[in-house]
Amino acid sequence: MRAAIAPPETAADATARRVRDLSLLFVSLLVLITLVSFSIYILTASCSTQEDRWWASSTLTAAFGGVLGWLIKR
């Protein structure tokens, strides 16, 4: 068993870490929402082809599977 004593995080480091983490979260959510909304639009559009609907449903399945896997892991 190993024990390590880490120095406390400074206020500037904590702020930088929070900004970085929140930026990454918001950019990821923006990409996910854009991807899901575009796929739903393709699935509901009357002018889309069957091949477009196949990749849109595959994309939605992958997105929801990733979100579900992330939620179960937490």
Is there a domain that residue 32 lies in?
A: yes
Is there a domain that residue 47 lies in?
A: yes
Is there a domain that residue 4 lies in?
A: no
d(CA 59, CA 40): 10
Identify the residue with better confidence: 5 or 55: 55
Which of 4-8, 14-18, 40-44, 52-56 is least confident? 4-8
Parent domain of 42:
15-73
Is there a domain that residue 6 lies in?
A: no
Report the domain count for the chain: 1
Residue 73 has pLDDT above 90, yes or no: no
Write out the two tokens for 70: 């992330």
**Residue 39: other Cβ atoms inside 10 A:** 21
Tens digit of each residue's pLDDT (9 = 90 or more) over 26-62: 999 999 999 999 999 999 999 999 999 999 999 999 9
- Per the CB < 8 A criterion, the answer to whether 59 and 39 are in contact is yes
